[in-house]
């Protein structure tokens, strides 16, 4: 694809690209159109050397859709801007955000379209990379027999399962999103099949017996985390923003820098439609 207003350097043939020449604080016109094209093509975009206030970061997110408020703030009463998810990993952190392969908030009836994380402080000794994996390729690299078996199945995504991994238990009267989605969804833009289960949120496959569900999910999770052919790795520098297609990408934050710090803010773009089952 030819770009006139930005420069795009792929990280791998399957997923990820670094974008140069885009000032996200004032992105508009043809440059914005080309960023959207690159996002559809590469699923993960890396923007270096950005200088963004919180309002500017939110304005960038809104170029792709309405921002989503995080349920921890709307349902559990966590303080702070409901449109910003703060990333604060310090020497006092006991469980870091995003250490398992996951897609953000798949427990929502309409999961987010995209996430945009802006890192302002990185560990001085290095580390803290984020890994990304294409769920289009995750499905495409399964055997035809497994692909066929997964079509038509549905899975339960539990927000409580994710919260308990961080030691959070519900208080009386509290609620949190939970939802059922197809195991293989149709990407709403490309129409391609996407594997849509993840270890953080997916609790069970409805149509299978419990032991069968556990075995199939574990197999799919190992397929995702060990198949490096459809992964890319982003090494953070201060003032880097990474945006990813939350419908088609898993990510994993590597916590290899304790007790050093890593800080930033994430905005999330609300999805347009509920996940629809893929039909060949």
Burial of 153 (0-12, 13-18, 19+ CB in 10 A): middle
* Contact call for residues 194 and 141 (beta carbons, < 8 A): no
Active site residues: 102, 104, 251, 266
User: Could you tell me the strand order of the sheet in which 17-20 lies?
Assistant: 7-10, 17-20, 44-47, 240-245, 114-121, 262-269, 85-89
Closest listed residue to residue 155, CA positions, set 117, 194, 192, 205: 205
3-state DSSP assignment of residue 194: strand
Q: What is the 3-class SS of 107-136, one letter each residue?
A: CCCCCCCEEEEEEEECCCCCCCCEEEEEHH
* Contact call for residues 251 and 151 (beta carbons, < 8 A): no
* Contact call for residues 26 and 52 (beta carbons, < 8 A): no
| C-alpha–C-alpha distance, residues 189 and 207, integer Å | 28
Q: Which residues contact 223 (CB under 8 A, 6 or more apart)?
A: 138, 141, 142
């Amino acid at each position: 694809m030819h770009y006139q207003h930005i420069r795009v350097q792929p990280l791998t043939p399957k997923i990820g690209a670094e974008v140069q020449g885009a000032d996200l604080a004032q992105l508009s016109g043809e440059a914005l159109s080309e960023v959207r094209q690159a996002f559809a093509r590469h699923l993960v975009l890396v923007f270096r050397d950005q200088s963004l206030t919180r309002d500017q970061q939110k304005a960038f997110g809104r170029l792709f859709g309405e921002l989503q408020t995080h349920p921890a703030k709307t349902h559990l009463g966590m303080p702070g801007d409901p449109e910003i998810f703060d990333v604060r990993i310090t020497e006092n952190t006991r469980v870091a955000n995003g250490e398992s392969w996951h897609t953000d908030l798949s427990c929502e009836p309409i999961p987010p379209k995209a996430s945009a994380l802006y890192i302002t402080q990185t560990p001085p000794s290095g580390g803290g990379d984020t890994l990304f994996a294409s769920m289009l390729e995750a499905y495409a690299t399964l055997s035809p027999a497994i692909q066929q078996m997964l079509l038509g199945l549905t899975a339960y995504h539990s927000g409580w399962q994710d919260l308990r991994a961080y030691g959070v238990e519900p208080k009386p009267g509290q609620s949190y999103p939970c939802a059922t989605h197809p195991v293989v969804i149709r990407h709403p833009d490309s129409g391609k099949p996407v594997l849509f289960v993840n270890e953080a949120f997916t609790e069970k496959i409805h149509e299978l017996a419990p032991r069968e569900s556990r075995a199939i999910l574990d197999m799919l999770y190992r397929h995702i985390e060990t198949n490096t052919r459809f992964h890319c790795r982003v090494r953070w520098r201060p003032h880097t923003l990474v945006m990813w297609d939350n419908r088609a990408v898993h990510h994993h934050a590597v916590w290899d820098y304790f007790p050093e710090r890593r800080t930033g803010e994430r905005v999330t773009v609300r999805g347009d439609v509920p996940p629809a089952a893929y039909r060949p």
